[in-house]
Amino acid sequence: MSKVLVFAGSNSKASINKQLATYASSLLKNTEIEVLDLNDFPLPIYGIDTENEFGVPKNARRFVSLIEGADGIVLSLAEHNGSYAAVFKNIFDWMSRIEAKVWRNKPMLLLSTSPGVRGGSGVFASAKMAYPYQGGNIVGEFSLPSFFDNFRDGKVTNGELNEILKSEVLKLDRAL
Ligand SMILES: Cc1cc2nc3c(=O)[nH]c(=O)nc-3n(C[C@H](O)[C@H](O)[C@H](O)COP(=O)(O)O)c2cc1C
């Protein structure tokens, strides 16, 4: 059975991106799902001096091992000021010091959502542009606008958007 890592680029305990990623992963068939939380991987802020003095921290290595051991990834990015949330940028920077191709060519369903109508489209576009150079293999993509109008009780409530999400999830299913 394929194993898929599911996580959000957020450290919010109530992360709407974690909710979206978890729902999307529930639509996968015959897949073992492992939902991760960045709060379980605390790290110092990346800095070259910290790295030179202490090396790459264990929690960054743990996360890299999880990526290496997975068959696929469902990632939903939170948008802070048009870009990655600091916690996500930080773990990514640490992981990139182990191997620049952080995503190891694992098939990825890339998601984003926000309370606004653009649904995190800034961070979503950044990731789409950069990930091919960072070992990313985006096989499906979906951005959910206006989260609180379109998501309730763990599910996408807008029928049309839900159908689009399902078709993107299917692309990951087929790539596993
Ligand atoms: C510092 C900060 C900056 C934000 N900037 C944006 C933004 O640029 N675009 C946006 O759509 N939402 C923005 N938001 C709102 C987030 O989308 C919202 O907090 C969302 O819940 C974040 O996702 P999460 O719940 O998965 O952490 C911002 C929130 C914070 C705290």
pTM to 2 decimal places: 0.98
**Average model confidence (pLDDT) for the chain?**
98
Mutate which of 80, 143, 147 for ligand 1? The one with the most ligand atoms within 8 Å of its CB, which is: 80
Cβ atoms of residues 36 and 6 within 8 Å? yes
d(CA 52, ligand 1 centre) in Å: 33
Cα 132 to chain centroid distance, Å, stands at: 15
Residues 6+ apart with CB under 8 A from 163: none
CA nearest 145: which of 163, 126, 161?
161
In angstroms, the Cα distances linking 59 to 35, 99, 122, 151 are 16, 15, 28, 32
Cα–Cα dist 26/38, whole Å:
20
Cβ atoms of residues 135 and 3 within 8 Å? no
Residues 6+ apart with CB under 8 A from 27: 165, 166, 169
Cα 4–33–3 angle (5° rounding)? 40
Report the Cα–Cα distance between both ends of the chain, in Å, rounded: 9
Domains of the chain, first to last = 2-175 (3.40.50.360)
Report the pocket of ligand 1 as residue ranges, CB < 6 Å: 8, 10, 12, 15-17, 78-82, 114-116, 118, 120
Q: Nearest C-alpha to atom 25 of ligand 1 is from which residue?
A: 15
Q: What is the pLDDT of residue 35?
A: 98
CA nearest 120: which of 72, 77, 68?
77
Give residue-wise pLDDT tens across range 101-119: 999 999 999 999 999 999 9
Judging by beta carbons within 10 Å of its beta carbon (0-12, 13-18, 19+), is residue 157 exposed, middle or buried? Answer: exposed
Q: What is the pLDDT of residue 172?
A: 98
Cα–Cα dist 106/135, whole Å:
8
Cα–Cα dist 118/120, whole Å:
6
User: Which atom of ligand 1 sits closest to the CA of residue 19?
Assistant: 26
CA nearest 83: which of 126, 138, 134?
126
Give residue-wise pLDDT tens across range 41-59: 999 999 999 999 999 999 9
Give residue-wise pLDDT tens across range 127-164: 999 999 999 999 999 999 999 999 999 999 999 999 99
Q: Nearest C-alpha to atom 8 of ligand 1 is from which residue?
A: 81
